[in-house]
């Protein structure tokens, strides 16, 4: 059975092979020397990457030997992965970028284009888990806080994705009074060009599930709501996440 691109990339040596082939076509023995590991592992990853159409085997012009090189889509993905590896948190993010709840932030941003406000981001992730029930893995834990369910981990992950160059967080001052210490700043979340490359593969793989397609359709409706209407909906449906002072 052919593996999806996210599944292939999550396996050992797959990313190293793509990055090694950025320098040019290589015979599998040279590739093995560069990426290390067992020969059988490298050979298995090569077959999986060929099946995923990220690399291909071609005949070298000068010697007639069969060598491995990146396809056009494989090169685009490898360039994106290289940018991630060069980021300030390279090993911390790239090792887990395709698994866990962090991927849902990328998928939501790909589906919606942008999310205006940290409060809105929190509520959309919460509804994805509690109401739409398409998350079948450990997810963010939410607790009652200002404006309903809150997860500090989700916002921290958004910052990690920003530091990795996958998303951008644009801050906009909405209200300021010289007579008050309060400054209202709204953060808008959107994918960078590098983030779009990664998010596209995650999005296309997840939306193969009918329940995910339906969930993303509903999430678009929730995202289109005015924030006060979205909060009212969450408060009514999940009163246990509403603090008394609200």
Please tell me the distance from the alpha carbon of residue 84 to that of residue 151, in angstroms, as a whole number: 25
Find tokens 């500090």 and name the residue.
152
Do 25 and 67 meet the contact criterion of CB atoms below 8 Å apart?
yes
Do 25 and 32 meet the contact criterion of CB atoms below 8 Å apart?
no
The pLDDT assigned to 200 comes to 87
The pLDDT assigned to 8 comes to 85
Q: Read off the pLDDT of residues 183-203 as tens digits, 9 standing for 90 and up.
A: 567 889 999 887 888 888 888
Ranking 31-45, 55-69, 212-226 by mean pLDDT, the lowest is 55-69
If residue 69 lies in a helix (H) or strand (E), which one and from where to where? strand 66-70
**What is the mean pLDDT of the segment spanning 28-37?**
87
Please tell me the distance from the alpha carbon of residue 97 to that of residue 138, in angstroms, as a whole number: 15
Specify which residues 55 forms β-bridges with.
Answer: 70
Do 125 and 115 meet the contact criterion of CB atoms below 8 Å apart?
no
**From start to end of 95-242, where are the E strands?**
115-116, 143-145, 148-150, 167-176, 183-191
170 has a pLDDT exceeding 80: yes
- DSSP structure class, residue 157: H
Do 85 and 94 meet the contact criterion of CB atoms below 8 Å apart?
yes
Q: For residue 245, what pLDDT band results from cuts at 50, 70 and 90? A: very low
Q: For residue 246, what pLDDT band results from cuts at 50, 70 and 90? A: very low
The pLDDT assigned to 10 comes to 79
Closest CA to 105 of 88, 122, 93: 122
Q: In this prediction, what percent of the chain has a pLDDT beyond 70?
A: 85
The pLDDT assigned to 207 comes to 84
The domains of the chain, with CATH numbers, are 5-86 (1.10.10.10), 102-241 (1.10.10)
């Amino acid at each position: 059975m052919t593996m999806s691109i996210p599944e292939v990339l999550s396996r050992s040596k797959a990313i190293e092979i793509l990055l090694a082939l950025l320098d040019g076509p290589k015979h599998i023995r040279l590739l093995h020397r560069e990426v290390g590991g067992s020969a059988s592992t490298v050979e298995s990853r090569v077959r999986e990457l060929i099946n995923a159409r990220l690399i291909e085997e071609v005949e070298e012009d000068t010697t007639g030997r069969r060598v491995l090189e990146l396809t056009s889509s494989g090169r685009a993905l490898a360039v994106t992965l290289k940018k991630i590896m060069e980021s300030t948190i390279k090993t911390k993010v790239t090792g887990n970028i395709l698994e866990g709840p962090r991927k849902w932030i990328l998928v939501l941003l790909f589906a919606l284009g942008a999310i205006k406000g940290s409060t809105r981001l929190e509520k959309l992730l919460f509804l994805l888990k509690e109401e739409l029930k398409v998350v079948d893995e450990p997810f963010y834990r939410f607790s009652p806080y200002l404006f309903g369910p809150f997860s500090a981990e989700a916002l921290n992950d958004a910052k990690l994705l920003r530091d990795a160059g996958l998303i951008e967080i644009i801050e906009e001052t909405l209200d300021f009074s010289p007579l008050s210490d309060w400054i209202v700043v709204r953060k808008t979340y959107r994918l960078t060009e590098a983030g779009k490359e990664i998010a596209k593969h995650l999005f296309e793989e997840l939306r193969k599930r009918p329940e995910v397609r339906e969930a993303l359709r509903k999430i678009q409706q929730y995202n289109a709501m005015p924030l006060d209407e979205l909060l009212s909906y969450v408060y009514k449906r999940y009163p246990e996440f509403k603090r008394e002072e609200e």
